[in-house]
């Protein structure tokens, strides 16, 4: 039972999604069964580095979380701050250890990711839109990491774009959810500076752009009808609902629900791309 707060700190669902995103990206980029060890190593590396990012984010946001998310392990004191800092270093060390067993391009991406995630958490997160774009970029980078692992990043570019657009939209919605704590602690996010309506408009722009980008490869004959079936009845339908609900109800509870829906909708997108 005492381990539960530490597990919560790692965001297990994000850990699993990152692991499978990199694995699928490697397969989409032409990875074969003979490369299974490298693919598994990359997936573990990205998942541990991503988990480290979750921890350092909570370390640096502890005052904001005491307002927005008082049930978080650091905010409620169930995990000591010093323990969290040590855990952050261990997770990054494990992630880099796996990463340094991969090809040089993947090694550079792993090291860059560790440095950039810290820079995001310490600086970019509290800026208008730049923090949101940084998260989207890092999500897309996970797909490029999979491509670099098997020596073919070109085929990971389109999935990376999808992931980036999806997560920028989600991050803006999360900023709308956290606006009260961010305002109290001087985090100048887009909803804090320009209001919830501007936040909803920006999130809608990115999600609509994703819908257009998702249809594009099918229209050009790059992906099969199986892809379009999953995208049309899975991702696009869900995103259309999210946009509708976002404008209808901007309560904290609904914003949290919508950000969770978007996170799991990414799995639908991965399935669609893999089948296509």
Query: 155-197: per-residue pLDDT in tens?
Result: 888 888 888 999 999 999 999 998 888 788 777 889 999 999 9
pLDDT of residue 85: 94
d(CA 55, CA 94): 14
Q: What is the DSSP letter of 151?
A: T
1: confidence class by pLDDT, cuts 50, 70, 90: very low
The two counts, helices (H) then strands (E), for the chain are 14, 0
Listed in sequence order, the DSSP H helices in 100-177 are 104-122, 130-149, 157-177
Nearest CA to 56 out of 113, 99, 137 is that of 113
pLDDT of residue 276: 60
Q: Model-level pTM?
A: 0.84
Percent of the chain surpassing pLDDT 70: 93
d(CA 12, CA 39): 20
Domains of the chain, start order: 4-275 (1.10.357.140)
d(CA 11, CA 7): 7
Tokens of 40: 């598994």
d(CA 225, CA 202): 31
Mean pLDDT value across residues 14-27: 89
10: confidence class by pLDDT, cuts 50, 70, 90: confident
pLDDT tens digits, one per residue of 58-107: 899 888 888 878 888 888 888 889 999 999 999 999 999 999 999 999 99
Q: Supply the mean pLDDT for the chain.
A: 88
Whether the Cβ atoms of residue 109 and residue 148 lie closer than 8 Å to each other: yes
pLDDT tens digits, one per residue of 32-56: 888 999 999 999 999 999 999 999 9
């Amino acid at each position: 039972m005492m381990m539960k707060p530490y597990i919560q700190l790692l965001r297990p669902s994000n850990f699993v999604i990152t692991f499978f995103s990199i694995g699928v990206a490697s397969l989409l980029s032409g990875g074969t069964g003979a490369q299974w060890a490298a693919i598994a190593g990359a997936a573990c590396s990205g998942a541990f580095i991503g988990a480290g990012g979750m921890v350092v984010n909570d370390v640096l946001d502890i005052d904001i979380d005491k307002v927005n998310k008082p049930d978080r392990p650091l905010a409620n004191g169930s995990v000591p701050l010093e323990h969290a800092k040590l855990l952050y270093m261990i997770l990054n060390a494990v992630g880099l250890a796996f990463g340094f067993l991969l090809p040089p391009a993947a090694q550079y991406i792993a090291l860059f990711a560790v440095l950039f995630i810290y820079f995001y958490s310490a600086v970019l997160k509290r800026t208008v839109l730049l923090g949101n774009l940084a998260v989207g970029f890092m999500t897309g980078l996970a797909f490029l990491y999979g491509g670099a692992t098997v020596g073919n990043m070109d085929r990971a570019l389109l999935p990376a774009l999808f992931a980036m657009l999806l997560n920028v939209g989600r991050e803006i919605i999360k900023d709308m959810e956290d606006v009260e704590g961010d305002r109290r602690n001087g985090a100048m996010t887009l909803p804090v500076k320009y209001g919830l309506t501007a936040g909803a408009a920006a999130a809608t722009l990115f999600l609509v752009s994703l819908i257009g980008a998702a249809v594009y490869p099918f229209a050009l004959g790059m992906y099969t009808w199986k892809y379009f079936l999953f995208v049309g009845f899975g991702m696009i339908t869900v995103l259309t609902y999210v946009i509708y609900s976002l404008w209808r109800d901007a309560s904290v509870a609904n914003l949290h629900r919508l950000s969770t829906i978007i996170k799991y909708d990414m799995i639908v997108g991965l399935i669609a791309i893999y089948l296509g």
